[in-house]
């Protein structure tokens, strides 16, 4: 055990391990110090000065980067400290657009909250020069509005350190500093993978999803359109938070009812397509193993990861499973199977996906994802956008009754629920692959070695005579580490699951916001995942191949996994993407 | 352009020399600024790829320090001192006259690539205020009226 240090915070005696910061010590003493640029383990740079405290030193010190020392007497609320914090906040506000009324972050904005807490009475206390920035809304996924940016760099650290993408950073100096892409190009002209983790890390409204809800309203209000909606596994584990329910509350039934009341004609479950994905992916894996295909096979459900692979690791494209992601499979089936069943012409069908993800918005635009000559999916909205639609429609979410999904493609198993958490696709695939390969019934369904938040998880699993070497990575920086270890020849695997976001879809870039402080109290990656694992445990069927709807679909329409029809509708291909997407004139590097 | 290829080879050599030393970005960028006279986009990409850092980082550093320029500098660089002494002696009028005569803003370069106009901090020649430098030549007690004569020296 490392050495303990004792100090006082506002007279409260507290002991912390050597190396802890004053902010850590204050938290231990239950003293709350306000923070703004601080994002635990990601952005600890002491830049915003919100957390300044008095320690007896000549100047005030930033608690988030100040190491606690023996005998230190910290005061967190002196007149001097309060004055400094308030002044700093007023200075930040002086170059902020202060358009809270129309801001998507209103009421969950960390800047707004601090202004109230620090009793800012005049938001124009320093009414000096203000820089007006162009809003970058070219990307199908992410909108950047520097008029609201407070230069905390949380997005920059996330993009560089957590995702290893690094396409935004501070540009210029002093008052003219702004967070920009290289050469100030639109985000869509960079290697941005659209994961939206920058949005999730932003304390204010400077980053948000490109909204498609206006388009969805138009579809709903169009009498000629038959609008089918589907919801991803992770949405139900988080949507309730937008309505004040506790994190980790599963709101499947209320969500389905709300979608019907919004006016969607049919409510399907992406979980159904997740089960189908397992059927296709397990068959593909077995085929690759038996016929000496390219291994390791890597999952392709996460479009953030797929973009990352195509851009930064194109050499692994042959390893990507050819399976479309579940909502794209569902879209293709709605426009073929469902159209055939109902007699509704494809052109009158619109498919809306509710996703925990902003990269799905880019994915839906891929030309190769249009099996029936029209896009498989017409619009993608995030969990947050759905919540805003529900609110704007005057729906009393708390008091909604529970309703089930529509039947044709609404059934699912516990395996599908797992898709929302890191390791979930792997676990679901193993449950099915085990039974396909061994022909025996799997007794213990939980594969604990692929659960949890370890950045890279690995396991060796025996499926009869076959020893399957598997790995799971989440967050593209962890993916990078894993792929580099394979490239160096240090590691060998047969099957890999990669998710673009840490923790998997439950903490995707489209999920309800959790503040930096909220994340210290409850980690959404753990708490939301728990809701999914609980849902799995409660399901009567927990293996994808037992899904009766999926079985019916194969019998009536697809024949068998990886059949010709299945390939046409449910599989896709990939192509390398350029890392630098602008005219270089002489085009030397690229 | 063969010339550019040679410059590029030189840059790659510098990158190789610095790659495994601590903090290689600044010295490599300084070398690139000297080799090319400015840091065009493809050079920044070359540096990012060569050192294994993000382009975002290179561009951030390039825009942070005034020693780096993103556009080619003119054949002659005119630096007008805007230090206190020069300023009170009328440096602003001199700068305005230069901007007007050359048809560019401070920081800009004439279309023919002849002149770059810069406003700088104290050049340390306050006794001669207002002062400007053209390349490494100092001109003292400048007035808006003397600007054409100074430009004429370098226009030839």
pLDDT, mean over chain A:
96
For the cut 60, the answer to whether the pLDDT of residue A532 exceeds it is: yes
Q: Indicate whether B52 belongs to any domain.
A: yes
Q: What is the CATH number of domain A4-77?
A: 3.10.20.740
Whether the upstream peptide bond of residue B130 has omega within 30° of 0, thus cis, is yes
For the cut 60, the answer to whether the pLDDT of residue A300 exceeds it is: yes
Q: Indicate whether B70 belongs to any domain.
A: no
DSSP character string of A240-272 = GGGGTPPTT---HHHHHHHHHHHT-SEEEEHHH
Domain boundaries, chain A: 4-77, 123-209, 213-570
Locate the chain A residue with the closest alpha carbon to B58: A182
For the cut 80, the answer to whether the pLDDT of residue A256 exceeds it is: yes
* Strand intervals (E) in A29-177: 52-53, 61-62, 73-74, 142-144, 169-171
- For residue B98, give how far its alpha carbon lies from the nearest alpha carbon of chain A (Å): 26
**pLDDT tens digits along A564-582:** 999 999 999 999 999 998 7
Q: How many domains does chain B have?
A: 2
Do B55 and A586 lie within an 8 Å CB cutoff?
A: no
Query: Does the beta carbon of B41 lie under 8 angstroms from any beta carbon of chain A?
Result: yes
Q: In terms of domains, do B80 and B147 share one?
A: yes
Do B54 and A167 lie within an 8 Å CB cutoff?
A: yes
Q: In terms of domains, do B60 and B89 share one?
A: no
Tell whether domain A213-570 is in CATH 3.30.565.10: no
CA atoms within 13 A on the CB side of B115: 23
Where is the domain boundary, B64, B93, B117? B64
Q: What is the pLDDT of residue B66?
A: 80
Q: What is the pLDDT of residue A585?
A: 43
Q: In terms of domains, do B81 and B151 share one?
A: yes
Query: Does the beta carbon of B57 lie under 8 angstroms from any beta carbon of chain A?
Result: yes
Closest to A325 (Cα-Cα) out of A372, A359, A374: A359
3-state helix/strand/coil string of A143-157: EECHHHCCCCCHHHH
pLDDT per residue as tens, chain B (156 positions)? 458 899 999 999 999 999 999 999 999 999 999 999 899 999 999 999 999 999 999 999 999 998 898 988 888 999 999 999 999 999 999 999 999 999 999 988 999 989 999 998 898 999 999 999 998 899 999 999 999 999 999 987
Residue A590 banded pLDDT, cuts 50, 70, 90: very low
For the cut 50, the answer to whether the pLDDT of residue A589 exceeds it is: no
CATH number at residue B109: 3.40.30.10
A453's tokens: 């938040």
User: CATH topology for A123-209?
Assistant: Alpha-Beta Plaits (3.30.70)
Q: In terms of domains, do B123 and B144 share one?
A: yes
Q: In terms of domains, do B33 and B58 share one?
A: yes
Average pLDDT in the A441-455 region?
Answer: 95
B35: domain range? 2-64
**pLDDT tens digits along A18-53:** 999 999 999 999 999 999 999 999 999 999 999 999
Do A589 and B56 lie within an 8 Å CB cutoff?
A: no
For residues A583 and A18, the model is more confident at A18
Average pLDDT in the A375-404 region?
Answer: 98
**pLDDT tens digits along A100-152:** 999 999 999 999 999 999 999 999 999 889 999 999 999 999 999 999 999 99
Locate the chain A residue with the closest alpha carbon to B56: A182
* Strand intervals (E) in A376-492: 379-382, 456-463, 466-474
Q: In terms of domains, do B31 and B56 share one?
A: yes
Q: What is the pLDDT of residue A588?
A: 40
Q: In terms of domains, do B6 and B45 share one?
A: yes
**pLDDT tens digits along A472-515:** 999 999 999 999 999 999 999 999 999 999 999 999 999 999 99
**pLDDT tens digits along A334-354:** 999 999 999 999 999 999 999
**pLDDT tens digits along A284-296:** 999 999 999 999 9
Q: What is the pLDDT of residue A581?
A: 86
Q: Indicate whether B69 belongs to any domain.
A: no
């Amino acid at each position: 055990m490392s050495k303990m240090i004792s100090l006082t915070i506002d007279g409260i005696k507290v002991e912390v391990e050597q190396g802890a910061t004053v902010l850590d010590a204050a938290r231990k003493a239950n003293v709350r110090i306000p923070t703004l640029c601080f994002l635990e383990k990601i952005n600890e740079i002491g830049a915003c000065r919100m957390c300044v405290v008095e320690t007896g030193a000549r100047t005030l010190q930033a608690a988030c980067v100040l190491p606690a020392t023996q005998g230190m007497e910290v005061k967190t609320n002196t007149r001097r400290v309060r004055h400094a914090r308030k002044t700093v906040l007023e200075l930040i506000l002086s170059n902020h657009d202060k358009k809270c009324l129309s801001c998507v972050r209103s009421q969950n904005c960390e800047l707004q909250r601090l202004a109230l807490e620090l009793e800012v009475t005049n938001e124009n206390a320093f009414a000096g020069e203000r820089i007006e920035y162009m809003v970058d809304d070219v990307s199908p996924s992410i909108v950047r509005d520097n008029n609201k940016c407070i230069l905390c760099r949380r997005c920059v650290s996330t993009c560089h350190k957590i995702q290893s993408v690094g396409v935004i950073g501070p540009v210029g100096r002093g008052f003219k500093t702004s967070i920009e892409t290289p050469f100030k190009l639109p985000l869509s002209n960079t290697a941005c993978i659209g994961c939206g983790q920058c949005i999730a890390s932003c304390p204010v409204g400077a980053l948000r999803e490109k909204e498609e809800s206006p388009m969805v309203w138009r579809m709903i209000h169009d009498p000629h359109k038959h609008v089918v909606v589907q919801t991803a596994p992770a949405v139900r584990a988080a949507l309730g938070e937008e309505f004040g329910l506790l994190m980790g509350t599963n709101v499947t039934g209320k969500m389905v009812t709300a979608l019907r009341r919004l006016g969607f004609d049919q409510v399907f479950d992406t979980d159904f397509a997740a089960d189908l994905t397992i059927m296709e992916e397990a068959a593909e894996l077995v085929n690759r193993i038996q016929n000496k295909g390219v291994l390791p096979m890597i999952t392709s459900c996460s479009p953030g990861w797929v973009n990352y692979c195509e851009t930064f690791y194109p050499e692994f494209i042959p390893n990507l499973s050819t399976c479309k992601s579940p909502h794209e499979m569902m879209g293709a089936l709605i426009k073929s199977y469902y159209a055939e069943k109902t007699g509704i012409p494809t052109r009158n069908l619109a498919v809306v996906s509710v996703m925990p993800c902003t990269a799905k918005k880019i994915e839906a635009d891929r030309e190769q994802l249009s099996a029936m000559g029209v896009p498989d999916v017409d619009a993608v909205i995030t969990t947050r956008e759905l919540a805003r639609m529900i609110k704007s429609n005057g729906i009393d979410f708390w008091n909604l009754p529970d309703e089930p999904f529509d039947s044709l493609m609404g059934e699912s198993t516990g395996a599908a629920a797992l898709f929302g958490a890191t390791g979930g696709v792997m676990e679901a695939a193993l449950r099915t692959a085990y039974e396909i390969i061994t022909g025996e019934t799997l007794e213990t369904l939980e594969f604990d070695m692929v659960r949890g938040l370890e950045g890279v998880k690995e396991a060796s699993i025996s499926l009869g005579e076959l020893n399957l070497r598997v790995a799971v990575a989440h967050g593209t920086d962890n993916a990078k580490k894993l792929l580099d270890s394979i490239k160096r020849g240090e590691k060998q695997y047969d099957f890999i699951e990669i998710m673009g976001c840490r923790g998997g879809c439950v903490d995707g870039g489209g999920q309800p916001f959790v503040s930096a402080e909220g994340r210290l109290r409850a980690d959404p990656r753990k708490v939301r995942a728990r809701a999914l694992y609980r849902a799995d445990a409660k399901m009567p069927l927990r293996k994808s191949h037992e899904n009766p709807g999926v079985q019916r679909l194969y019998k009536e329409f697809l024949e068998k996994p990886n059949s010709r029809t299945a390939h046409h509708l449910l599989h896709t291909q990939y192509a390398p993407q350029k890392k630098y997407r602008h005219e270089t004139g002489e085009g030397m590097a690229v | 352009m063969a010339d550019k290829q040679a410059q590029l080879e030189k840059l790659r050599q510098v990158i190789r020399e610095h790659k495994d030393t601590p903090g290689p970005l600044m010295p490599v960028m300084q070398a690139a600024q000297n080799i090319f006279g400015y840091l065009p986009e493809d050079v920044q990409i070359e540096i990012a790829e060569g050192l294994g850092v993000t382009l975002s980082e290179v561009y951030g550093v390039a825009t942070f320090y005034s020693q780096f320029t993103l556009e080619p500098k003119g054949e002659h660089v005119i630096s007008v001192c805007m230090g206190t002494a020069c300023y009170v002696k009328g440096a602003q009028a001199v700068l305005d006259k230069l901007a007007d005569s050359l048809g560019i803003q401070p920081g800009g370069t004439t279309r023919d690539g002849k002149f770059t106009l810069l406003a700088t901090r104290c050049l340390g020649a306050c006794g001669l205020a207002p002062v400007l430098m053209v390349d490494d030549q100092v001109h003292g007690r400048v007035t808006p009226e003397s600007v054409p004569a100074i430009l004429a020296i370098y226009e030839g």
